């Protein structure tokens, strides 16, 4: 038997309308002052792939519609709900009050390696994943409001991953425990 690549028709993708009406993964993404519009677009595309509830674009993070965001989002800005918030801190406080567990992705003195995190942190929870600025990371005030700080293990010479790559890894790790 030959392992053949699937055609677009065989992939049986849902429409934007079907996406909007579908049950979502109980994860929201918070982008804390992201500079790169290509990263923002890539996060939209990842959010679409995992049927994420919503993206919060905070601070200096650019918002759709924008040519540079659309270049990497490939239409995902039409399917994924999003909202702009001037303050990441206020966004986190509001989501926490709504029952979301706030998990920032950052390297801190008390961060939990994602491959070692307790799945009870995720199971039957609504979670908000916070991703920080490409240079400065997640604001300390946001870290202080977080229920936990998660870190992606890295074994090379670099000390960080691209924010859109981190987003994909974190969503994948969390969604594995969500019984979707």
The phi, psi pair for 121, rounded to 5°, reads -70, -20
Tell the burial category of 151 from Cβ atoms under 10 Å away from its Cβ (0-12, 13-18, 19+): buried
The number of folded domains in the chain is: 1
Range of the domain at 121: 21-175
pLDDT of 128 above 80: yes
Indicate whether 13 belongs to any domain: no
| pLDDT at 7 (0 to 100) | 87
Instruction: Tally Cβ neighbours within 10 Å of residue 18.
Output: 10
Residue 31 lies in a domain: yes
What's 81's domain CATH number? Answer: 3.40.1280.10
pLDDT class of 40 with cuts at 50, 70, 90? very high
Confidence category of residue 159, pLDDT binned at 50, 70, 90: confident
What pLDDT, on a 0 to 100 scale, did the predictor assign at position 60? 97
Which pLDDT belongs to residue 145?
Answer: 98
Torsions phi, psi for 128 (to 5 deg): -120, 125
Burial class (CB in 10 A: 0-12, 13-18, 19+), 139: buried
The answer as to whether 110 is a domain residue is yes
The tokens describing 130, both together, are: 């916070």
Domain assignment present for residue 166? The answer is yes
pLDDT surpasses 80 at 179:
no
């Amino acid at each position: 038997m030959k392992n053949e690549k699937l055609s677009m028709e065989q992939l049986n993708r849902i429409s934007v309308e079907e996406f909007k009406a579908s049950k979502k993964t109980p994860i929201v993404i918070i982008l804390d002052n992201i500079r790169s519009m290509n990263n923002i677009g890539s996060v939209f595309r990842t959010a679409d792939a995992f049927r994420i509830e919503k993206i919060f674009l905070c601070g200096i993070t650019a918002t759709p519609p924008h040519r540079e965001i659309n270049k990497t989002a490939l239409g995902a800005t039409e399917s994924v709900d999003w909202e702009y918030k001037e303050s990441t801190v206020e966004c986190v406080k509001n989501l926490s009050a709504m029952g979301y567990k706030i998990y920032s992705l950052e390297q801190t003195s008390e961060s939990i390696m994602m491959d070692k995190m307790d799945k009870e942190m995720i199971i039957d929870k609504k979670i908000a994943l916070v991703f920080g600025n490409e240079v400065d990371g997640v604001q300390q005030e946001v870290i202080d409001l977080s229920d936990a700080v998660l870190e992606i293990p890295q074994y090379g010479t670099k000390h960080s991953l691209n924010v859109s790559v981190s987003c994909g890894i974190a969503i994948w790790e969390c969604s594995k425990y969500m019984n979707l």
